[in-house]
Amino acid sequence: MSLKGKTALITGSTSGIGFGIAQNFADQGVNIVMNGFGDSNEIETKRKELEGKGVTAIYHGADMTKPEEIRDMVATAEKEFGNVDILVNNAGIQYVSPIEEFPEEKWDAIIGIVLSSAFHTTKAVLGRMREAGWGRIINMCSAHGLVASPYKTAYVSAKHGILGFTKTMGLEVAQDNITCNAICPGYVFTPLVENQIADTAKARGISEEDVINNVLLAAQWTKKFVTIEQVAGIALFLCSDTAENITGTDIVVDGGWTAA
């Protein structure tokens, strides 16, 4: 089945994995609703890059901690495209700190952006998605949805939560030609990972080089970062006919991390 002419709303698609997924879908003729923060000129350049692939791409700057902005983003997408066919809940932030010093507002932000936003986006798109008779919901989880690392209480909690949400939604929409799955990547070299290297070094009292070799890639038995293209390829696979009966589960792409 061709995805041409369908619409994907990808939260957190101004950067990293989200933008990679947007590029991959646009290559297949999928219209894109971009979301996320960043420099407005850079976002516009990326939006135009997507449109250069022959699709329509719009941008909405909804803050994933604000349910009313999320609802406005979905309403905007539906006004433009009729309905959202593919929802990718991808926006995320990280904060690394021992719990005693972990700021309350960072806990709330991570739970809001990584977990609660998926509830709000899914709730908002589902009516029209059901009417359209086809849909794919993809939640960007993490190896940290399956196992923990110290100093990441909020992130690990939110990512474990999103797997529960994925399973529940998989069942709720099972007979509507809609699937809901999660992707659990190990470390992908994006700004999110780059930015936590210094904090992890500080929290553990080791050098930044040691963080890369002995903390990040220590867990990855392949000794390679996962690439954005590999994660984007899995998102595309989950939208294929082959994946029609894959629902309520997760695909792990972590270089063997969680097998050990």
In the complex, minimum distance from the CB of residue 81 to ligand NAD, in angstroms, rounded to a whole number:
20
The structure tokens 């040691």 sit at 210
From the list 59, 151, 155, 187, the catalytic residue is: 155
In the complex, minimum distance from the CB of residue 199 to ligand NAD, in angstroms, rounded to a whole number:
14
Minimal CB distance residue for ligand NAD: 16
54 versus 106: smaller Cβ distance to ligand NAD:
106
Cα gap 230→192, rounded to integer Å: 17
139 versus 247: smaller Cβ distance to ligand NAD:
139
Cα gap 86→136, rounded to integer Å: 5
Cα gap 197→96, rounded to integer Å: 9
Based on the residue annotation, tell me whether 151 is a catalytic residue of this protein: no
In the complex, minimum distance from the CB of residue 205 to ligand NAD, in angstroms, rounded to a whole number:
22
In the complex, minimum distance from the CB of residue 232 to ligand NAD, in angstroms, rounded to a whole number:
11
Which residues does 227 contact at the CB level (< 8 Å), separation at least 6? 188
Q: In what order do the strands lie in the sheet with 31-35?
A: 57-60, 31-35, 7-10, 86-89, 135-140, 178-185, 250-253
In the complex, minimum distance from the CB of residue 241 to ligand NAD, in angstroms, rounded to a whole number:
26
3 versus 158: smaller Cβ distance to ligand NAD:
158
Q: Which residues bind ligand NAD (CB under 6 A)?
A: 11-12, 14-18, 35-38, 63-65, 90-93, 113-114, 140, 142, 185, 187-188, 190-193
* Cα separations in angstroms, 72 against 67, 116, 121, 136: 9, 16, 10, 20
Cα gap 241→22, rounded to integer Å: 20
Q: Which positions are annotated as active-site residues?
A: 155
